[in-house]
Amino acid sequence: MTHYRTNLRDLEFNLFEVNRLGDYSTDEPFDDFDAATMRALLGEVDRLAREDFAASFEEADRTELELVDGEVVLPDAVKRSLDAFYTGDWDLFGLPRSLGGAGAPPSLVRAMQELLVGANPSVYFYVIGQLMAKVIDAVGTPEQRARFAMPMAERHWGGTMVLTEPDAGSDVGAGVTKAIHVEGDEYLIEGVKRFITSGEHDYAENIVHLVLARRPGAPAGTKGLSMFIVPKWLVNEDGTLGERNGVVCTRIEHKMGIRGSTTCELTFGAERPCLGYLVGGVHEGIRQMFHVIEHARMLIGIKSTATLSTAYLNALEFAKERHQGADLTEWRDKEAPRVPIIRHPNVRRMLMTQKAFAEGLRALYMYTTWVQDQVELHPDEPHWAQLDDLLLPLVKGYSSERAYELLGQCLQVLGGSGFTQDYPMEQYIRDAKIDTLYEGTTGIQALDLFFRKVVKDQGQTLTKLAESILECVKAGGDADPFAVERELLGAALDDVQVQVGAMVGALMAAQQEPAEIYKPGLQANGLLESMAELVIAWRMLVHAEVATAALGSAGDDDRAFYEGKVAAARWFCAQVLPGIALRRQRAEREDGALMELDTAAF
């Protein structure tokens, strides 16, 4: 048995029973997929994840990666996991047809990603070269697509996104890496980048870096950045590999978690010239890089969900098997039989918390992927892309924060055993902390949500989302079994709208009093949490409605599953939604005094 516990049943419930993927999977551009085919594919990926990918989970973590003469040799177990992925052509499902891929619906691709990134995130990060290939295919020149994107897809080259610099950190616009024009789309790249995931390894024959750099005389900030294709090995016009390019791994970051992933410092143009190719022949680096960033943020939200899900299922299994203590109703009887710890109220409370959030976070990202399906099905309807933009910081920011918080609770169910390496909990926690930091910290996600996705949009997309939630609030008749939950959802919707209003009011006041802008800055994370919990509760209530309708014809196994969906939705609405009212009060009462406090007082 490996560490990994999947929840294939819940994935299928989201895809086929709630989001009805089978109803539109035969429409262009998804016409190669029907429900039976997709279920079969998910089953095979589930097996791949539990067996081949999970098999190297511990070795990837516990084998110290070493940098020797600029090269990193991956453990054999990691290579076997990658071999299983590529031998089965599973990379094709994340690639568009233009690169020889399958053109699968985004929701199916993301479900597959959950299975794999949950089984072994360090190993899965080595296959994200397909994402860089998609971006080059989308925004590169025809020559760049042929020279780089196609072999990346066909020959399984690695790929990286290269943004962060030692002195700039999250302030990407402060980057100073230089790009000096040679001729055409060729530039010489000079500088140092850090925290580059999969920046060096010996599995792929080549690694293609997408690098942000600044031309001499370019404007300050992000507007002056351009994106360049920088291959580890130069690529000849006939597709063969040429000389070693001047990009070198000069240090491996030794990390708290995801230790099997080579997180590198990359130095460009120090010992030999480093050649880069201006992507698309245009200086639009930050816009182009956001194609990568948005995909990566979604992946990290899914990774958080997957890790919490397997941690919960491990804790649940332990709680059913571990006998300790008497039932609370017999606490005075010293001779009472020992019971499984799942019989103890506090353990049961923790398990329901974990279940509700694991399934709720999955409902959040799966709804977002359904929206992404609509983007491709209805390219002339901009609302879908705008809704996707609004939901993305919720998926990335909220999922990563809540999952990390609850992983400690999963460990708690196991008691002292959870603190040992006999169980995977401690590695889950170490591997998950990066999720709140990757691709923009939670604070950055929150500012993005408020200033770019709500204010810049003048609240239009949020208003449409609120209308959909309000429909759910008003649904149900006289004998509605979810009347209480709908009332709680309606109150939460009102609280979120007031919370937004208070922050927008402070922003408007900042036009006369600049310090007023601190108020939404102080409350932005709270808004992200409130909006995420509102959407999760809405989706879980929809899930409960679907489950209730299915109960009448369900077999024993499905009956337990559906009853669990209803129970989780009721618990979330009762225990989580009331917290939004407190955040509303905080936003209304925010006075900005914290920003006036002398730093010496901290």
Taking a C-beta distance cutoff of 8 angstroms, is the pair 353, 413 a contact?
no
Number of neighbouring beta carbons within 10 Å of residue 559: 15
Phi-psi group of 92: left, alpha or beta (phi > 0 → left; psi -120 to 50 → alpha; rest → beta)? alpha
The closest of 580, 485, 470 to 528, measured between CA atoms, is 580
User: Which residues fall within 8 angstroms of residue 380, CB to CB, at 6 or more apart?
Assistant: none
Taking a C-beta distance cutoff of 8 angstroms, is the pair 326, 339 a contact?
yes
59 in catalytic set: no
State whether the Cα torsion 467-366-58-74 is positive or negative. Answer: negative
DSSP 454: I
Taking a C-beta distance cutoff of 8 angstroms, is the pair 133, 121 a contact?
no
SS (H, E, C) 459-527: CHHHHHHHHHHHHHHHCCCCCCCCHHHHHHHHHHHHHHHHHHHHHHHHHHHCCCCHHHHHHHHHHHHHH
H/E element, 226:
strand 225-231
Taking a C-beta distance cutoff of 8 angstroms, is the pair 176, 165 a contact?
yes
Phi-psi group of 156: left, alpha or beta (phi > 0 → left; psi -120 to 50 → alpha; rest → beta)? left
Query: Residue 345 and residue 325: Cα distance in Å, rounded?
Result: 12
Query: Residue 476 and residue 478: Cα distance in Å, rounded?
Result: 7
Q: Which two tokens stand for residue 288?
A: 């182009």
Catalytic residue among 165, 200, 359, 439: 439
Taking a C-beta distance cutoff of 8 angstroms, is the pair 86, 156 a contact?
yes
Looking from the CA of 161 toward its CB, the CA atoms found within 13 Å total 25
Tokens 């980057």 correspond to what residue? 175
Classify residue 377 as exposed, middle or buried by CB count within 10 Å of its CB (0-12, 13-18, 19+).
middle
Query: Residue 469 and residue 250: Cα distance in Å, rounded?
Result: 51
Helices (H), 63-170: 76-87, 106-119, 121-124, 129-139, 142-144, 150-154
Query: Residue 483 and residue 570: Cα distance in Å, rounded?
Result: 11
Could you give phi then psi for residue 343, rounded to 5 degrees? -80, -15
Q: Which two tokens stand for residue 561?
A: 């599953």
Number of neighbouring beta carbons within 10 Å of residue 586: 15
Taking a C-beta distance cutoff of 8 angstroms, is the pair 285, 210 a contact?
no
Q: Which two tokens stand for residue 246?
A: 């001047």
H/E element, 248:
strand 247-252
Helices (H), 414-459: 425-432, 442-447
Catalytic machinery residues: 439
